[in-house]
Structure 1
Amino acid sequence: MELAHIHQHFLSCDSVSTDTRKITPNCLFFALKGPNFNGNTFAEQALAQGASFAIVDEVTYKTSEKTILVDDVLETLQKLAIYHRNYCKTKIVSLTGSNGKTTTKELIHAVLSTTYSTIATHGNLNNHIGVPLTLLRLTPETEIGIIEMGANHQGEIAFLSNLAQPDFGYITNFGKAHLEGFGGVEGVIKGKSELYNYLQEHDKHIFLNADDPIQLEKLSGYVKKIGFSQNQQNYYQIKLLDTNPNVRLQFEEVTVQTQLIGTYNFTNCCAAITIGKYFNVPKEKIKTALENYKPKNNRSQVLEKNGYKIILDAYNANPTSTSAALSSFAALKGMKKIAFLGDMFEVGPTAKEEHQSIADYLDSLGLEHAYLVGENYYQVKTTAYKFRNFNELKTYLEVNPIPKGTLLIKGSRGMAMERILDFL
């Protein structure tokens, strides 16, 4: 069936689904395949549960007029997303980077949605499936779409850029994330810069942190750039006033008291302010949006439980984000500080070196207590407590309760360091 006809079927549906556990009435079901499943086998089930159509790529499962046979379901999902993106003519803002993508995306959405009809990537659905699903949520009435792009290998951001076809772009930073897949820090810079490459090739606008020397160098000769800075006068000026404990900043004589911690979140706020200003969002609406934004999903959350204050930043971790979190944590004043760090994954052959570097930095901070968890941290030389796995930590904490104070909890997703909350 031609893409235009599939698009007509799509328009007649209320939503898209790739999971029979989440079928809603009158949805369009895409029978995707994975290493351990074949979505084609669930097509009939999806229709029985209320899907209006099911797209399959194995002729055996073309059982009725409601099953649409294509050569490749995933490729059809991606092509349909491009077709629909152009049908809607929505302005697209794409962002990528090593750290802070999801929080920055949420902040941009909070600011722009005060003035425009916007949609943004749900959670971190930022890959070759998530980006098409986000594009298919656009409607002709959507004025701005905010598309997060994630990657851990060369070429992925280029591919996603060709899907989303952004009109604007922003890279949060270039850090030590997914080093294994990218092949080191230079590989990270090259991979993430694929968004810059797309935007420059298509003469589109780029937002940048002008206090980041890598971004400045990458865009030195490009005209269509809109930057923010604390100290360079030829860029939009935003000042960091305080981070003890929450970020307080100022732009155009407007003071913003956020619910976010850490200087790294100051930069995320700057991006949202700059993009909001570009789109003529009134500054008082920008202020309100940033002040009302509250972090969630284990990302820089500030919690209180049984007399403990907790900075829960356990959604993920890499050397850059962990160093930044420790730096901001150490700068907090007037409190007893206790750090729990879990292993950093996808660091590749530099894992030993990177974990030792974090341990050395942690030792230099002189925190009251520090606990390191995981096979990599267990190998480092440190004055902190070390545990090979979470079960060892659990056994220790059952006998040695965590001292009262302010806790930083940080680790890669696979470490699930938020389980520490059960011991408070």
Structure 2
Amino acid sequence: MNIEQLYQHFKECTTACTDTRKIDKNSLFFALKGDNFNGNEFASIALEAGAKYCVVDEKRYAIDQRYLLVENVLETLQNLATFHRDKLAIPVIALTGSNGKTTTKELINAVLSKKYKTTATIGNLNNHIGVPLTLLRMNEATEIGIVEMGANHPKEIGLLAAIAHPDYGLITNFGKAHLEGFGSIEGVIKAKSELYDYLMANLKTIFVNENDPLQVQQTQNYDKVFKFGLRTSTDTMLEIINTQPYVTLSYNGSVIKSQLTGTYNFNNIAVAIAVGSYFKIEPNHIKNAIEDYTPTNNRSQILKKGSNTIIMDAYNANPTSMMAALENFKQLNQGGKMIFLGDMFELGKTAESEHQSIVDYLEQNELGKVHLIGKNFYKTNVTHSNIQKFETFEALKLNLQQHPIKDSFLLIKGSRGMALERILELL
């Protein structure tokens, strides 16, 4: 079945899906394969659950006209997404980066939604499957698409750009993330810049943070840039007023008070303001969108639990984002400070040195009582009596049961696999 024929079937459906546990009625089911499963085996279950058609790539499963046989389901999903995106012919904004992608995407969506009908990546469904599904959620009512792109190996951002055909793009930052796959910070820069490569090759517009030397360097020989930052030479000029406990800034003569903490979130907000400015969103609407945005999903949330106040930033972590969180915590003028840090994953051969670098910083800076959780942190050399190591979460749990925490100001930060939000249950 060719892509034109498949597209006609897709137009009969409400949406596309890949999970039989989340089937929408009259959807188009793609029977993807994984290391430990064959989606073709679940095609009949998808139909029983309400799917209208199933895309399969093994002939023995295509038993009637509801089964659409193709050579490769994953490639077909990606090709259909591109075909659909091109048919819609709407502006698509792509963003990637080492840190802050999802928060930035949510902020951009909040700002643009003040004027346009938008369709944006849900959560962080930002990989080779999530990006096509995001594109296929767009329809004739969509005026602007916002696509988050994630990667942990070279060539992945290039693939996602080739699927999404973005008209605009930005990179939040270059940091020490997924070093196991990228090899080094130089590898990170090269891989993330695959988005720049696509945009430049196709003469598309790039949003550039003038205060990030790496972004400026990577785009210095390209003309179609929209600059933002703290300099008067930028297209959108901003001014930091305060970052503690929440980011407050000045834009277009107006003060914007966000519900996000930390200098690192100033850059995320700045991107959204710049994009809003480019797309002619009224300044007061930009202000309202930023001020109304509330962080969720353990991303820079400030929570209250009993007598304790918590900065919950445990959605994910890498050396760059962890150091930024610690620097921000250091600047907070609060008593009773306490830190919980969980292992950082996907660092490969640099894991030992990067975890030790965090410990060295903690020993050189008085930030309160520190709890380090996980096998990597447990291997570090600690000399300061204010720093405790716990190889497992269970060991930490036992300690907190014996030494209850109250009247404290906490920072909780760790990789997703550490699930440090569980600490909230112990407070």
Q: How does 1:211-230 map to 2 (within 5 A)?
A: 211-230=211-230
Return the letter of the residue paired with 1:65: Q
Match of 2:354 in 1: 354
Match of 2:243 in 1: 243
The Cα RMSD (Å) is: 0.9
Match of 1:309 in 2: 309
Match of 1:265 in 2: 265
Return the letter of the residue paired with 2:125: L
Match of 2:100 in 1: 100
> Would you say how many aligned residue pairs link Structure 1 and Structure 2?
424
Cα shift at 1:40: 0.5
Q: Which deviates more from structure 2 when the two are superposed, residues 268-277 or residues 137-146?
A: 137-146
Return the letter of the residue paired with 2:50: G
How many angstroms apart in 1 are the aligned matches of 2:416 and 2:341? 12
Partner SS for 1:228: strand
Q: Note if 1:43 corresponds to 2:46.
A: no
Q: Which deviates more from structure 2 when the two are superposed, residues 138-147 or residues 179-188?
A: 138-147
How many angstroms apart in 1 are the aligned matches of 2:352 and 2:405? 27
Match of 1:118 in 2: 118
Q: How does 1:1-400 map to 2 (within 5 A)?
A: 1-382=1-382, 383=384, 384-400=387-403
Partner SS for 1:136: helix
Return the letter of the residue paired with 1:413: R
Match of 2:418 in 1: 415
Return the letter of the residue paired with 2:19: D
How many angstroms apart in 2 are the aligned matches of 1:403 and 1:378? 25
Check conservation: 1:92, 1:146, Cα contact below 8 A.
Answer: yes
How many angstroms apart in 2 are the aligned matches of 1:228 and 1:336? 37
Partner SS for 1:37: coil
Cα shift at 1:338: 0.7
Structure 2 unaligned blocks of 5 or more: none
Cα shift at 1:255: 0.6
Match of 1:404 in 2: 407
How many angstroms apart in 1 are the aligned matches of 2:177 and 2:422? 23
Cα offsets for 1:270-320 (capped at 9, x unmatched): 000000000000000000000000000111111101111111000100000
Cα shift at 1:113: 0.6
How many angstroms apart in 2 are the aligned matches of 1:416 and 1:255? 36
How many angstroms apart in 2 are the aligned matches of 1:142 and 1:44? 32
Check conservation: 1:210, 1:235, Cα contact below 8 A.
Answer: no
How many angstroms apart in 2 are the aligned matches of 1:139 and 1:258? 32
Instruction: Name the TM-score, length of structure 2 as normaliser.
Output: 0.98
Structure 1 unaligned blocks of 5 or more: none
How many angstroms apart in 2 are the aligned matches of 1:391 and 1:232? 52
Cα offsets for 1:148-191 (capped at 9, x unmatched): 00001110000000000100000000000001100110000000
How many angstroms apart in 2 are the aligned matches of 1:149 and 1:367? 34
How many angstroms apart in 2 are the aligned matches of 1:304 and 1:87? 48
Return the letter of the residue paired with 1:323: M
Cα offsets for 1:18-74 (capped at 9, x unmatched): 111111211111111111111101111111121110110001101111111110111
Check conservation: 2:373, 2:391, Cα contact below 8 A.
Answer: yes
Cα shift at 1:395: 1.3
Instruction: Name the TM-score, length of structure 1 as normaliser.
Output: 0.99
Partner SS for 2:370: strand
Partner SS for 1:335: coil
How many angstroms apart in 1 are the aligned matches of 2:366 and 2:191? 36
Cα shift at 1:230: 1.2
